Amino acid sequence: MLGVLGSIFWLLAGFMIIPLLVAVYYGESLQTFAIPLAITVFVASLFTLFFKRKDEEWNLKEGFFIVAIGWLVAAIFYSFPYMLEGVPPISALFESMSGVTATGATALIDIESHSRSLLFWRSMTQWLGGMGIIMLFIAILPKLGIAGRQMFRAEVPGLQEEQLRPRIRETAKILWLVYIVLSISELLILMIAGLSPYDAITHTFTSISCSGFSPYSDSIAAFNDPMVEGIIMVFMFLGGANFALHYKSIFSDRTSLIKDQEFKFYFAIIAIATLVLAYMLFKTEVYSLADAFRYSSFQVISILTTTGYATADFNLWPDSSRFILFLLMFIGGCAGSTSGGVKVVRLLLLLKYAQKVLFKVIHPKAIIPIRFNNKTVPEEVIHSIVSFMVIYLMIFFASSTLLSLMGMDFVTTLSASIATLGNVGPGLGLIGPMASFDSIPDPGKLVLIANMWIGRLEVFTVIVLLTPAFWKR
């Protein structure tokens, strides 16, 4: 099993060549990436030498272990370039974990002061983490067999395992193909809209992946261009939808998205939240009516899809408006998307379950199946959702409590916890959209690093490693 980690290390090393070439192009220091590349290659060689990969059948526990550890080592090794540019180790690990988990919370103080190659790397790690490093590993490595299936289930532990082909590797390749096509499309459109190739690439990396890193401290507000905002909104919206449905709508059923109950609920949440937020901002005279719709629609899509971009400092908005965004941080995008959060489908099924419970209070003997997309949802799925929500909220409250014990204020504590656990990025208070998580003490950063790791792998994949039963044979 550890032999597979060796292959993952080789994959991680290969990606470091790209920012190294960017550094060459811009005439920047090569050691920022040459040294981490050499270290990763050395470790990969050791694992390959001492742990031969065997064609063996895995159980789900081994899949969980490889995926969880794979994400963790990716964050550790990808933190080295930050350290070589002077970022303190804990902050470097925070930035790296935020990258590979597609969170977008930053611990950098002056973003523009760093090299263009590092900022390119920072965005690129989010693009890799958006669809999933392990998912890419499954797609390109042949003969994984059952091991690949278990890794896929651990990497995508949502409610439904969207298997577009009988072979898991083929499914992973299809999802990555859709991801690449959408990325290339956004890149070309942003360049036509006037962005430089560098800006277009870095913002494509972090919008279709619902991640949110920008090479500018002011995020998308740095452009102050409604056309650029509109393009990015469209691709954040697409990134927050189910990629399996994107594939089906292109190659088989063009109505797949609009027939899907989760997608319709996702669209409804965006529409309602945008209208409510725009009304609040207009009523409180923060913006004109046109600007209220412009800024509210962007922020609603950005926060709901857990991208975390900003076109305005919403930390300065009235409390009622900020509360709407805070609620959206808990939801996230659709299952099978690049966004984080609890996912829209879980919220939808919980509402259906609550409706069922209320109906049974009046009609105790009634048999009421819960249906989703014209299919009956098994009871064990509902139980899994309830368990997920309980554990998710427990982690949220635990991390919030730990942060509060470090002397942080109430708003910052709660928003930092959910912004990292939901892989949203920026929060409220001291960690607003134009601020940095650098003000969080190092022990607090470690708590938030754990939140990002747990949240990206949908809780169970990491938490199960902490149970005694996992380690029993």
pLDDT tens figures, 19-69: 999 999 999 999 999 999 999 999 999 988 887 655 555 666 777 788 888
**pLDDT score of 132 more than 70:** yes
The predicted pLDDT at position 147 comes to 45
CA nearest neighbour of 139 among 180, 173, 175: 173
Residues 143-161 as b/e (b if ≥16 CB within 10 A, e otherwise) read ebeebbbbbbbbbbbbbbe
Question: What residues are paired with 376 via a beta bridge?
Answer: 371
Tokens of 270: 């965006």
- The pLDDT-based confidence of 303 (bands split at 50, 70, 90) is very high
- The pLDDT-based confidence of 145 (bands split at 50, 70, 90) is very low
**pLDDT score of 138 more than 70:** no
Asked whether 137 and 220 are in contact (CB, 8 A), the reply is no
**pLDDT score of 178 more than 60:** yes
Question: What residues are paired with 372 via a beta bridge?
Answer: 375
Rounded CA-CA distance 378/375 in Å is 9
Residue 372 per-residue DSSP state: E
Residues 202-211 as b/e (b if ≥16 CB within 10 A, e otherwise) read bbbbbbbbbb
> How confident is the model over 323-338, as a mean pLDDT?
93
Rounded CA-CA distance 210/104 in Å is 9
CA nearest neighbour of 262 among 176, 177, 357, 385: 385
**pLDDT score of 432 more than 70:** yes
Place of tokens 């526990």: 61
Looking at 62-66, 297-301, 340-344, which range is the least confident one?
Answer: 62-66
Q: What percent of the chain has pLDDT over 70?
A: 89
Asked whether 66 and 95 are in contact (CB, 8 A), the reply is no
Residues 224-245 as b/e (b if ≥16 CB within 10 A, e otherwise) read ebeebbebbbebbbbbbbbbbb
Residue 458 per-residue DSSP state: T
CB under 8 Å to 208, separation ≥6 — which residues? 127, 130, 179, 182, 183, 186, 235, 236, 238, 239, 338
Tokens of 468: 């005694």
Q: Enumerate the H helices of 286-378 as residue ranges.
A: 289-304, 319-328, 344-362
Q: What is this structure's pTM?
A: 0.92
Place of tokens 């969980």: 64
Rounded CA-CA distance 18/345 in Å is 36
> How confident is the model over 257-268, as a mean pLDDT?
92
Rounded CA-CA distance 105/99 in Å is 8
How many other β-carbons are positioned within 10 Å of the β-carbon of residue 25?
12
Tokens of 389: 């929500």
What three-state secondary structure class fits 375?
Answer: strand
Output the furthest CA–CA distance in the chain (Å, rounded).
74
Looking at 172-181, 207-216, 320-329, which range is the least confident one?
Answer: 172-181
